[in-house]
Each structure stands twice: as C-alpha cells, then as structure tokens.
Amino acid sequence: MLGILLSIAAFHVAVLGRFEYFEDAVRVEGWGAVFFSIGAAISALVVVPIAVFHARDMAQIPAKPITWLFMGFGFGIATPILTGGLTRTAGAFAGLAEGAYGVGSLPSLLLDAVIIFPYDMFVQGAPNVYAGLLSGGFFAIIGFLVDRLNAVRNEAISIWGPWIVAVGLGLPIMVFTLVGPTEFLRDLVR
C-alpha cells in the first residue's frame, strides 16, 4: 500500500516538474489523472514485491537501515521508469474514457503501447527519476518503521501497526501532492 501511494505521488510531482518557471504548472486532471495514477500503482505493484519480499528472507528480524536505503533507492529508480513505460497504455484508456478514441482503435493503440514500451520507459520515465528518488526516500524511512513494527512481539501491534503507519504516513503525502501548491511541488523536482 505504501509503495502505491508514494508511486502515485511521485508521478504527479514529476508531471508538475516538467513545467518551466515562467509557465503555470497544471496538474493532470479527469480521466487522465485516474488512468495515469493506475499506471503508477501498477508499477509499484511490480517493483515493491521484488524490492521487499524477495530481498528479505525473514520478516521477524527487521532489516538494517542501510538495507532500507538500498530498497528506497531501487524503488525510486525502478518505479518512475516502469511508470514511464505505461504512459501510452494509460493515455489510450484515458482517451477512450474521454471520447477521443473509439473502442475500435483501442487494439492498435495497445499494440503500439506494447511495442514502444521499452522506448517509453526511458523517454517518458527517465525525467521522472528525481521525483522517484524523493518518493524512494520516503519509502525507505516509512518502510523501515513498518519493518520495525512488523517485528514487534506484541501480536496486535505487529498486525495493525504496519498498516496504520503505512497508510497514515503515505496517504497524507499522496494527498499533498494532489492538492498542494503546484509551484512548490514543481520546484521540488527542478
């Protein structure tokens, strides 16, 4: 859950970071915001299990802070690049929902998205890496806290504590990136 919230937040901040100082930073809105956020969530659902579950063998022993720094760095690099690869797919579904494309053009748009996926990973995703690294820092810090709570011997704390911390700290970060001041958010990644 934490990875999804931070990946969506990083995407929306990265979009604002593409505007120059003299331009008004404009958020992605409507169906575009929905489908691009889904693309960011899918990238987190791919990256987080690889970063966390396969990198650690035992959940009862919390990882060292340096391990979480490396996992946050990996999350911060991999998530925006994978999200960049999904931009054509998200754009096709957003265009369909907004009426810009018909249902008949969807198969060719999705085939185009699959063929151009590696290209889009770097052309669309690489500029978003700085925002991804910021979210990776939050991922490392909050993940470290969640990992410590998961290893507590008290069963109630070890079951509910990680969820409360992950959602309680990740959700405000995502909400701030969605409704916060656009110029401030743009300047974070410039």
Q: What is the mean pLDDT of each run of 10 residues along the chain (190 residues)?
A: 88 78 73 86 88 66 83 90 89 85 84 89 86 90 87 82 89 89 80
136 within domain boundaries: yes
Asked if residue 186 belongs to a domain, the reply is no
User: C-alpha angle 29/118/127, rounded to 5°?
Assistant: 50
Task: Give me the pLDDT at residue 42, please.
Answer: 92
pLDDT at residue 172 in the model? 93
Quote the CA–CA distance of 4 and 121 in Å, as a whole number.
18
Given a contact cutoff of 8 angstroms between Cβ atoms, the answer to whether 185 and 13 are in contact is yes
With a CB cutoff of 8 Å and minimum separation 6, the contacts of 43 are 7, 78, 79, 80, 82, 83, 86
pLDDT score at 171: 92
Residue 53 included in any domain: yes
Q: CA-CA distance, 76 to 131, in Å (whole number)?
A: 8
- At 105 the pLDDT is 83
Torsion of CA 127, 128, 132, 135, to 10 degrees: 130
> Helix (H, G, I), strand (E, B), or coil: what is residue 59?
coil
Distance of alpha carbon 47 from alpha carbon 74, whole angstroms = 8
- Model pLDDT, residue 54: 59
Closest CA to 13 of 141, 93, 129, 120: 129
Task: Establish if 189 belongs to a structural domain.
Answer: no
Q: 187 lies in a domain? A: no
| Exposed/middle/buried for residue 130 (C-beta within 10 Å: 0-12, 13-18, 19+) | middle
Residue 42 domain-assigned? yes
* pLDDT value of position 81: 92
What pLDDT score does 91 carry? 86
Total tally of structural domains belonging to the chain? 1
Alpha-carbon span 91 to 113, nearest angstrom: 9
The answer to whether position 6 is within a domain reads yes
Query: Which residues form the domain of 12?
Result: 2-17+25-180
**Are 9 and 169 a contacting pair, CB within 8 Å?**
no
Answer yes or no: is 188 within a domain: no
